[in-house]
Amino acid sequence: MASVRSYQGMTPKLGERVFVDSTAVVIGDVEIGEDSSVWPLTVIRGDMHKIRIGERTSVQDGSILHITHASDYNPGGYPLIIGDDVTIGHQAMLHGCTVGNRVLIGMKSMIMDGAVVEDEVIVGAGATVTPGKILKSGYVYMGSPAKQVRELSEKERSFFKYTAANYAKLKDKHAAEGYAED
């Protein structure tokens, strides 16, 4: 699959039943967990640090996932770590951050270097999570810069697993029609 490429001896590792659309690019030190999906025109570039993506996580169309390399300005750099049952909306940008489990990242949102999104968080569409910010579990965050706006409802909490399962089923349908092949 041409869209999954080695870099400097590091080859992406895909878990069972992972879907990577043929127009997406996954490069280098990247691991993607079982039943996850990478949708059209997405870039996941683990070229100067590692990227780890959990199970049943959906990285939707046009998203960009990258790391922060180690330098004198940032010793150690920041890997990109994403948990299980995460839905990453269209055109989101995640850069050298950590995202917990059962998180919804809204369309066109940006999560920057060293930021931490704890478990069970909604990051609203278009939000900007500034470097080093911590988003506490159980809340909705919106705006630029992102601010806590309210607690999650029980319905929203149940939505995390629903949407993760829905995308796991959808990627199976796309894979069955050959959309993950060159």
Q: Which helix (H) or strand (E) holds 17?
A: none
CA distance linking residue 163 with residue 85, whole number of Å = 8
**Range of 59's domain?**
4-176
Confidence of residue 2 (pLDDT cuts 50, 70, 90): low
In a domain, 93, yes or no: yes
**79-135 pLDDT tens trace:** 999 999 999 999 999 999 999 999 999 999 999 999 999 999 999 999 999 999 999
Examine residue 157 and state whether it is found in any structural domain, yes or no.
yes
| 82: in domain | yes
What DSSP string runs through 3-27?
TEE-BTTB--EE-TT-EE-TT-EEE
Tell me if 182 is assigned to some domain: no
Q: In the predicted model, is pLDDT for residue 180 greater than 80? A: no
Question: What confidence tens digit (pLDDT) does each residue in 46-88 have?
Answer: 999 999 999 999 999 999 999 999 999 889 999 999 999 999 9
Residue 181 lies in a domain: no
Domains in the chain, number: 1
CA distances to 30, 81, 111 from 26, in Å: 7, 15, 19
Given a cut of 50, whether residue 182 has pLDDT beyond it is: no
Q: Tell whether the model's pLDDT for residue 155 goes beyond 80.
A: yes
Mean local confidence (pLDDT), 2-11: 91
Is residue 86 included in any domain, yes or no? Answer: yes
CATH number of the domain that residue 170 is part of? 2.160.10.10
Q: What is the pLDDT of residue 76?
A: 93
3-state secondary structure of 155: helix
Whole-prediction pTM value? 0.95
pLDDT tens profile 23-45: 999 999 999 999 999 999 999 99
In-domain check, residue 52: yes
Q: How buried is 74 (Cβ within 10 angstroms: 0-12 exposed, 13-18 middle, 19+ buried)?
A: middle
Per-residue pLDDT at 111? 98
In a domain, 128, yes or no: yes
